[in-house]
Structure 1
Amino acid sequence: MPMENTYSVPYLYETLSAKAPGLSRPLAVSVPGSKSITNRALLLATLAQGTSTLRGVLFSDDSRHFLKCVQNLGFETAVDEGARTVTVKGAGGAVPLSEASQHVGSAGTAARFLTAFLGLSQGVYHMDSSEQMRRRPMAPLLDSLAELGCEVSYEGSGAEGRIPRSFPFTLRGHGFRKNSICVNIDESSQFLSALLIVSCLCSQDFTTAIEGAHGMAYIEMTRKMMRQFGVETLKQDERTFLTPAGQHYRALDYQIEPDVSAACYFYAMCPLLRIPVRVDDVHFDSLQGDVRFLRILEQMGCRAAETPRGILLEPSADGIFHGVTADMSACSDQAITLAAIAPFADGPTTITGIGHIRFQESDRIAGMAAELTRMGIRCEERADSITVYPGSPKPSTVETYEDHRMAMGFALTGLRSPGISISNPGCCRKTFEDYFAVLDHAADCLAST
């Protein structure tokens, strides 16, 4: 990871444009483990009875914060970052320490998942976060926990820049005092995932209803992983889930998939640079919703094929890729990725279904619009969508707003347009700490092909 305040993106298009028509060997890339699966697996392992071994673990700021919180609660762990393994001795749904202080950093999964677990346990837990996480939504989850019987005390709620009912706060948990809840997930599907994962700790059948329909691909990931660890939650209709009582998580030896969100940055290089790309061990049967981004790239003209080593994506025969209208509600982490390559398409690209990304690490719709405009690219920003028109980006330093996806996504633009730099590249430590080193290696491989 570069330590400089900016990262100068290597301009590759001119060098590759002459080679691309004859480039037969794909760019092959390996990416670290999935953040979403790593952090779910860490929580499920703590809830299980017995010792779980997690393999292919992602080590990043988010996952390290989650792991540190698990350790601070008294769970026994063994960590081998070199082998990418973590063992966790679960306590069958109990928390070893009845009082603890937790700092979740900027990790949304740790913030939401651990808050639900601790709020519905027996004990007193003091919760804090980074300034960035203090500005992100928590109220729907905290209101649900209060309705279920948890006492929530807020600190510093009037401080500038903080939103009501957010970090820091103290949870005084008394277990479940009712067996049903309705939660609004318009701002984050993690509120629902958090409640589903801990719902089996209720002594009665537990019903979770939702308002909103954002992020259901992540909910399906949660339900599949719960099933893998031994707990079934039944979808009664589009808005209601039932977790039958009496179920318990079991310890597993669990392999974590490569991070498809990370893989998509390299797959986006296929239409952008007119090269074939394969990311090791990424397949269409992935638990991760971002694999649907490859279907959008197919709509733009690419060709995807399963191979034993991973999905192979090839550019169109003429090297042209098309503007599309894409509902990205199932793969919204890739909205920035699509916006970053959209100026080079043959027509406008409209990205819809992304209103909730205004409440993530940054207001991502506003960020996309601001940085594209800074590059001289015409775009139209709306409440829950953005349209990007074809154009030639001019040299620019991309402001990242402390958001890893702004940094990783807009680095793609610079591969095809000279003079693009990324401010604060270190923000990628959140999920993919050596992203720019991997990008530089890929660039070196392509330049020497």
Structure 2
Amino acid sequence: MEKYRVKSIFNNIESSEVIRVKVPGSKSITNRALLIAALADGESRLSGALFSNDAKNMIDCLNVLGIKTDMDEENETIILQGCGGKIPVKEASINVGSAGTAARFITALLAFSGGIYHLDSSEQMKKRPMKPFLDALISLGVIIKYDEIEGHFPFTLDSREVRGGEIRLDTSISSQFLSAVIMTGFLLKGGLKTIITGGRESLPYVNMTVKVMEDFGVTVDIDNEDGLISYILKEGKGYMARKYDIEPDVSAACYFYAMAEILGCRACVEGVHLDSIQGDIEFVKLLKKMGASLSEDEHGIVFQGAEEGNYEGIEANLNSFSDQALTLAAISVFAKSPTKITGVAHICLQESNRLIAIKTELEKLGIRTKMGKGEITIFPNRMDDTEVEIETYEDHRVAMAFSLIGLRRDGIVINNPECSAKTFKDYFRVLDGITATLSL
């Protein structure tokens, strides 16, 4: 499917209508659990796993390294035979594709495993910076030889002389750098102390990493000395295999809560609760400031959008749940006042330059924006229904977020909708079901 024409349904639904959906398992938790289970002692069974392109890339990398996996996509289950902290294959070529989590997590694993590995990626991933992360690994004795551009894929990594110790790590580009080293730091002789630098105001994805690690039996010591936070991993004690249930993906669920806000109806995403360990749950709470209301039942959060889709814009710092910057931008075009999104400088370095994507695609629709360093202000305006093709930049979140606008404004066409498969391959099929049901 090269293009997807969104069906506008705003004028055909009642506030009592309910969007009921089930979303895939969390990409973030799935890829953390895959790496941890691969290193565990024994057989682990992951239930509710996400079979996205990113997760499949991660599994392919683990298979090349000698980790045996048994996948049951229909039942959302993965069984892994853990290696007890000793990667079987000590020399290999790995391709992480476009998966940011695999790129960071697998690199740290190989840096601490005492072997020689060549790592390559997609052209998209080659553009994403890795230098602060790789420099930290080099300081521990890892030798890295770059094939093309310093600080980027592809490269050869020699970790035969790696040693434990202390590193400083800048997390301003990506907190995945930190998650990667704390999940694998116990492999190093003498352990690893990581001192955090950089301007990220909070690290919810790292908190998630720590929680999953603890569920598999490894504790991270967190120290705060003179205002510097350190994560400390002791040598030796590894993960224990277990059965592990993966939460539904809150990042994916947010698109359906956003639909309810835009349309003025209700939404319930099966299994998503307010006590989720995923950072994007804060976005759901943020929408209360735009007139939404929340309650819970045994199925999950019951979200009620603002009455008749009538809501004010807001100013919000999305530093700790920046995957929803595009989602908030989509909601903001129908607000009664401007919306300012701040704290998101790092989204310029993700699958696409997401700030530029917001500005460029909204201006196609006649929406004025003002962009600053790490922020953007969106000024809602009456839109016509002229057909507009939305460029998605091979970015799954651009595709899914801009489809929301088409539910209330005729003429939205999403180019390359299949890029959503990175995290939610059936998103547009699910959207078809929603528009068909609610507009009856």
Q: Same fold (TM over 0.5)?
A: yes
Per-residue deviation, residues 308-334 of structure 1 (Å, max 9, x unmatched): 101011123464212111111111000
Q: Specify the alignment match of 1:121 in structure 2.
A: 113
Alpha-carbon distance in 2 for matches of 1:318, 1:406: 25
Given candidates 177, 190, 195, the residue that maps to 1:191 is 177
Deviation of the 1:138 alpha carbon: 0.9
Deviation of the 1:351 alpha carbon: 0.6
SS, match of residue 415 in structure 1: coil
Q: Specify the alignment match of 1:240 in structure 2.
A: 230
Q: Specify the alignment match of 1:160 in structure 2.
A: none
- Counterparts of 1:32-43 in structure 2, within 5 Å, are 32-43=24-35
Alpha-carbon distance in 1 for matches of 2:383, 2:96: 38
Alpha-carbon distance in 1 for matches of 2:289, 2:362: 23
Given candidates 336, 339, 345, the residue that maps to 1:355 is 345
Would the aligned equivalents of 1:73 and 1:100 in 2 still touch at CA under 8 Å?
yes
2:279 equivalent to 1:282: no
Alpha-carbon distance in 2 for matches of 1:9, 1:392: 19
Would the aligned equivalents of 1:121 and 1:175 in 2 still touch at CA under 8 Å?
no
Q: Specify the alignment match of 1:336 in structure 2.
A: 326
Deviation of the 1:205 alpha carbon: 4.3
- Counterparts of 1:302-381 in structure 2, within 5 Å, are 302-317=292-307, 319-381=309-371
Alpha-carbon distance in 2 for matches of 1:336, 1:9: 17
Q: Specify the alignment match of 1:224 in structure 2.
A: 211
Q: Specify the alignment match of 1:210 in structure 2.
A: 196
SS, match of residue 357 in structure 1: helix
Given candidates 154, 168, 171, the residue that maps to 2:157 is 171
SS, match of residue 340 in structure 2: strand
Given candidates 29, 44, 54, the residue that maps to 2:36 is 44
Given candidates 260, 267, 271, the residue that maps to 2:261 is 271
SS, match of residue 402 in structure 1: coil
Alpha-carbon distance in 2 for matches of 1:217, 1:297: 19
Percent identity at matched positions? 46
Report how many aligned residue pairs link the two structures.
Answer: 434
2:72 equivalent to 1:86: no
Given candidates 240, 244, 258, the residue that maps to 1:254 is 244
* Partner AA of 2:407 in structure 1: L
2:2 equivalent to 1:8: no
- Counterparts of 1:67-146 in structure 2, within 5 Å, are 67-146=59-138
Alpha-carbon distance in 1 for matches of 2:251, 2:114: 36
Alpha-carbon distance in 2 for matches of 1:373, 1:270: 24
Would the aligned equivalents of 1:202 and 1:245 in 2 still touch at CA under 8 Å?
yes
Alpha-carbon distance in 2 for matches of 1:156, 1:282: 43
Alpha-carbon distance in 2 for matches of 1:393, 1:247: 59
Would the aligned equivalents of 2:111 and 2:162 in 1 still touch at CA under 8 Å?
no
Given candidates 186, 189, 192, the residue that maps to 1:200 is 186
Deviation of the 1:295 alpha carbon: 1.2
SS, match of residue 288 in structure 1: coil
Give the TM-score, by structure 2 length. Answer: 0.96
Q: Specify the alignment match of 2:417 in structure 1.
A: 425
Would the aligned equivalents of 2:163 and 2:189 in 1 still touch at CA under 8 Å?
no
Alpha-carbon distance in 2 for matches of 1:126, 1:361: 23
* Partner AA of 2:375 in structure 1: S
Deviation of the 1:10 alpha carbon: 0.8
Q: Specify the alignment match of 1:291 in structure 2.
A: 281
Q: Which runs of 5+ in 1 are unaligned?
A: 158-163
SS, match of residue 418 in structure 2: helix
* Partner AA of 1:393 in structure 2: M
SS, match of residue 148 in structure 1: coil
Would the aligned equivalents of 1:152 and 1:171 in 2 still touch at CA under 8 Å?
yes
Alpha-carbon distance in 1 for matches of 2:186, 2:163: 14
Q: Which moved more, 1:72-81 or 1:317-326?
A: 317-326
Deviation of the 1:177 alpha carbon: 1.7
Q: Specify the alignment match of 1:414 in structure 2.
A: 406
- Distance 1:175-1:75 versus aligned 2 partners, 3 A rule: farther
Would the aligned equivalents of 2:126 and 2:153 in 1 still touch at CA under 8 Å?
yes
Q: Which runs of 5+ in 2 are unaligned?
A: none
- Distance 1:124-1:176 versus aligned 2 partners, 3 A rule: closer
* Partner AA of 2:168 in structure 1: C
Q: Which moved more, 1:390-399 or 1:406-415?
A: 390-399
Would the aligned equivalents of 1:392 and 1:417 in 2 still touch at CA under 8 Å?
no
Would the aligned equivalents of 2:313 and 2:338 in 1 still touch at CA under 8 Å?
yes
